[in-house]
Amino acid sequence: MTTDTLKIADKTFKSRLFTGTGKFSSANTMREAIIASKSELVTVALKRVDLENKSDDMLVHLNQEHINLLPNTSGVRTAKEAIFASELAREALQTNWIKLEIHPDPKYLLPDPIETLKAAEELVKLGFVVMPYIHADPVLCKRLEDVGVPCVMPLGAPIGSNKGIKTLEFLEIIIEQSNVPVIVDAGIGAPSHAAFAMELGADAVLVNTAIAVSQNPIDMAIAFKMAIEAGRMAYNSKLAPIKNQAEASSPLTSFLNDLN
C-alpha cells in the first residue's frame, strides 16, 4: 500500500480530510469526532471564537499537537472586511493561514468571486497562506493561482446541503488545469461523495455538516477518513476505463484481418 502526502505552502499533511467545527451538539463531541477523523487541518469561524479569551471553549477543545487551526472569515461581506478579519486572526491565533470565505448572501452562503479575488491578492501580499472558498469556476481558479494562492477550494454543492458533487463537469476541468492542490470544500454529504471526489483527482476534501449533524459524529468521521483514503488510493492506482458499450460479438471490422 502506498500513501502520498499533501503539501500546501509550508505544511505537509498525511490526512486529506479537512474538517470544520460548526453544528456539533457539544464541544466534546466535536473534539472526539475531529480526533477520530485524523484530520490535521480544522477550520474555525472567527465569529464563533472569542479571540481575546485564551480559555475560549472551542479553542481549548482543539488544542492538540497534530491539529492545525484554520481560521475562516465566514460572515464577512467584502474584501475589506475579510482582510481586517484575517489580520485579527493572525495576531490572535498565531497563524498566517486563512480560509477566505466571502459570502454576502446569507441564505445559500455562495461565495462572491469578485471580492474573493480582490481579498486573495491583497492577503497574499500581506504574507498570508490563503485558502479561498469559491464556486467551481475554472477561470477564477486560474486567476487565483496567478495572484499566489497555494490551493483552491471549489464547492461541490451549496454549503451544508449534503447534495454531493453537483459541479462535476467544472471540477474535472479545475482538477485538470490546476497547478495548485484542489480541495473540494462544500456540499459533501456522504463518504461516497468524498471517495468520488478523491477518485476524480481532488487533492483533499473539507467536510463539516455531514459529520457534525449525523447521529454518530465519531463513527461518521471515521467513515469519511476511510472513504477518502480509499478514493485517493484508487486515484493513484488509476481506475480501469469505463466501457460505454459491450464488445460486439459480430465485429464490423474483422474482415480487415482477412484482407491483410
Provide the annotated active-site residues: 99
Does the footprint of another protein cover residue 43 (CB under 8 A)? no
Going residue by residue from 5 to 34, which x/- string records binding to another protein, judged by CB under 8 A?
Answer: -----------------xxxxxx-------
Please select the residue that binds another protein; options are 6, 46, 117, 197, rule is CB under 8 A.
Answer: 46
Closest approach, Cβ 134 to another protein, in A, equals: 18
Q: How far is CA 158 from the centre of its chain?
A: 13
Query: H or E segment at 41?
Result: strand 41-45
Cell numbers for 188, please give them. Answer: 459533501
Closest approach, Cβ 113 to another protein, in A, equals: 15
20: closest CA among 154, 135, 167, 185?
A: 185
Total residues at interface with another protein (CB under 8 A): 32
Closest approach, Cβ 44 to another protein, in A, equals: 12
149: closest CA among 2, 26, 8?
A: 8
186 known ligand binder? yes
**Residues 138-167 contacting another protein, CB under 8 A:** 160-162
Task: Give yes or no for a contact between 156 and 193, defined as CB atoms under 8 angstroms apart.
Answer: yes
Task: Give yes or no for a contact between 83 and 122, defined as CB atoms under 8 angstroms apart.
Answer: yes
**Residues 59-78 contacting another protein, CB under 8 A:** 75-78
- Bridge-based pairing of strands 183-184 and 129-134 is unpaired
**Residues 83-122 contacting another protein, CB under 8 A:** 84-85, 88, 104-108
- Bridge-based pairing of strands 6-8 and 11-13 is antiparallel
User: How does DSSP assign 191-212, residue by residue?
Assistant: HHHHHHHHHHT-SEEEE-HHHH
95 known ligand binder? no
Dihedral angle sign, alpha carbons of residues 222, 67, 13, 70: positive
Does the footprint of another protein cover residue 80 (CB under 8 A)? yes
Does the footprint of another protein cover residue 213 (CB under 8 A)? yes
22 known ligand binder? no
Beta strands in 60-177 (DSSP E): 68-72, 97-100, 129-134, 153-154
Closest approach, Cβ 165 to another protein, in A, equals: 18
Which range binds another protein by CB under 8 A, 7-15, 43-51, 60-68, 190-198? 43-51
Strand partners, 47: none
Q: Directed axis angle between helix 138-147 and helix 113-125, to 10°?
A: 20
Closest approach, Cβ 28 to another protein, in A, equals: 10
Please give the residue ranges that form the binding site for another protein (CB under 8 A).
22-27, 45-50, 75-78, 80-81, 84-85, 88, 104-108, 160-162, 209, 212-213
Residues of the binding site for 1-deoxy-D-xylulose 5-phosphate: 160, 186-187, 208-209
Annotated binding site: 160, 186-187, 208-209
